[in-house]
Amino acid sequence: MKPYRVLLYYCYTPIENPDQFREEHHLLCLNLNLLGRIIVAAEGLNGTVSGLAADCEKYMEIVKADPRFATLEFKVEEHEAHTFQKLHVRVKAEIVNSDLPVDPRKQTGKHLEPAEFKQMLNDEDVVLVDMRSNYEHSVGKFKGAITFDMENLRELPDHMDEIAHLKSKKIITYCTGGIKCEKASAYLLQQGFENVYQLHGGIIKYGLEEGGEDFDGKCYVFDNRIAVDVNQVNPEVISGCYRCGQKTDRMINCASPACNNHVALCEACGWDHQGTCADACKADPQIRAYDGTGYYSKKTESYTPLQGYLSRQSLVSNQD
């Protein structure tokens, strides 16, 4: 068993004072030596954190003890080390950017547990719709799924014409951990789709509980792993190297910070081209040193996890 855990979670629930909650939650993560990204909003909580197994267990216990998060589910993965280098706990307007005029606490697609989802895949009346960004589904998606050429969920309304002819079908939406589908499925219902479902817990939970069958490629994640294996049954690489076209599921961020393109790059091209997606990117005077991973954390002098908390405290004091 690996010593660290990676927790992925979200919960739509009213938080009356997001700023106060953010302060308390940041301190909780500091005390438990957790790193990651957490978003707090009046509509709920969304996060991905990593830490030692015992610290993560304590974190889950404390969060679940709060009645507001009684229904929250953690997706738990094992890892050799932290998957983040910093801790950010931020207050935002939404826990996932969408701008969609919906409230998933009032209406959303029917949740399908991984086993139910797997069974429904055999229904010829079912259509899978990927609600992730183009760079995410380019490296991995379910067989036969419809994908959209969109950068983020805010663009979903622009793609409704592409599936308008499927309103009589059983639509199953899916994403990485389930959070985007809460609003995306609600929006489809609002647009006149009647039989709308969502994969509860997303791709990650399906991989953990059902072995990831029929998910091709890897699942893009928002930490320093970049992409992770999901399918332990019938895996297939579907992405090609951005440079040479050779099949590869190695995802990188371009070493040019001005570009930062999310692309698949084979190991040979990664080293040959210094982790860049195009020759022009090599000329970037701020090019980052490529270490074979293609993951780059913003450099902050003398950074410690406490720094973000203290900076926030200072900002609040100045505003007062």
| Active-site residue list | 175
Distance CA 263, CA 139 (A): 8
Distance CA 113, CA 230 (A): 16
CA-based torsion, 25, 31, 34, 35: positive or negative: positive
Under a CB-based contact definition with an 8 Å cutoff, are residues 213 and 233 in contact? yes
